[in-house]
Structure 1
Amino acid sequence: MEITYKQITPDTPSLIDLFNHSDYFPIKEKHDTKRIAKMFEKANLVISAWHNETLVGISRSLTDFCYCCYLSDLAVRDDYKRKGIGKKLVELTKEKAGDQCKLILQSSPGAMEFYTSIGMDRIDSAFIIQREI
């Protein structure tokens, strides 16, 4: 199976289909297509993974390309997991952000083991103000 990686933002229906077929959905309101579209429109580093015409993975980040890169969303279609796609998306994100950038993310509880397994260090020096919606 050949997976193709592209630095493009897929259309919103493809993104929602991917999220619906993964264990990750970035927002509570799954039918808020305008918000999903805006999230990806405003991101400045998006890498997508494709199997033929099917979107099978996505990495969405915000970065200055010289100091830090916040990897906000990482999702892989359930039936494509354990094939190295998530790891490759993280690697490509770091590569595109550049050597001067540190890569930062907030993990969902179920993904903690994945991030340590691909060599990321866990930190405890972060803070958050949760969104209201």
Structure 2
Amino acid sequence: MNTIYAREDHLGADEYIDVVAKSGLNRPIEDRGRIERMLAHANLILTARQDGRLVGVARSLTDFCFCCYLSDLAVDKACQGQGIGKRLIEETRTAAGGAQTTTLLLSAPTAMSFYQGIEMPQADNCFLYRRQK
């Protein structure tokens, strides 16, 4: 199946919620207002579509020259294993400034093997305050 990758600055909440639900990614999809704010304030959204249907999304915050935080990477479970997640990361890195920009993400425990499998470098110098709700 042909997959089309594109930057979509105005991705709708319905499509985002649908692909996140189908991916198994833990996001607050029951809180539409929060999802709308998440999308409105992201400044880099890359999508993967097959026959016009959203099958993958990468949502990031970046300054386009030094740092990019890849907040969400979601691929419909029915489409996993096709290289879509890896390609969305590559597209994100390119759009965020390429080699001059650090791209970082926090992995869900169940996704660690995916990132290791695509040989994404793993950091050991990260600190964070976890979300309280």
TM-score by length of 1: 0.94
- Return the offset for 1:6: 1.2
SS in 2 for 1:21: helix
Please name the residue that 1:36 is paired with.
35
Residue 27 of structure 2: SS of its match in structure 1?
Answer: coil
State how far apart, in whole Å, the 2-side matches of 1:34 and 1:117 are.
35
2:100 is paired with a residue whose SS is coil
- Output the CA distance in 2 between the equivalents of 1:10 and 1:75: 14
Name the residue aligned to 1:88.
87
Which residue of the partner structure matches residue 108 of structure 1? 108
Which contiguous aligned blocks of 4+ residues in structure 1 show a shift greater than 6 angstroms?
none
Whether 1:51 and 2:47 are equivalent positions in the alignment is no
Deviations 1:32-75 (Å, cap 9, x if unpaired)? 11111110110011001111121100000111111111100000
SS at match of 2:82: coil
Tell me the amino acid that sits aligned with residue 90 of structure 1. Answer: I
Give the superposition deviation at 1:17: 0.9
In the alignment, structure 1 residue 18 sits paired with structure 2 residue 16: no
Residue aligning to 1:125 = 125
Q: Partner of 2:25: helix, strand, or coil?
A: coil
Unaligned runs of 5+ in 1: none
How many angstroms apart in 2 are the aligned matches of 1:25 and 1:40? 16
- Counterpart of 1:3? 3
Query: The residue matched to 1:66 in structure 2 has which SS?
Result: coil
TM-score of the superposed pair, with normalisation by structure 2:
0.94
SS of the residue 1:26 aligns to? coil
State whether residues 65 and 100 of structure 1, in contact with CA within 8 Å, keep that contact through their aligned partners in structure 2.
Answer: no
Distance 2:68 2:31 in 1: 26
Rounded Cα–Cα distance in structure 2 between residues aligned with 1:3 and 1:25:
24
Deviation at 1:116, TM superposition (A): 1.6
Unmatched 5+ residue regions in structure 2?
none
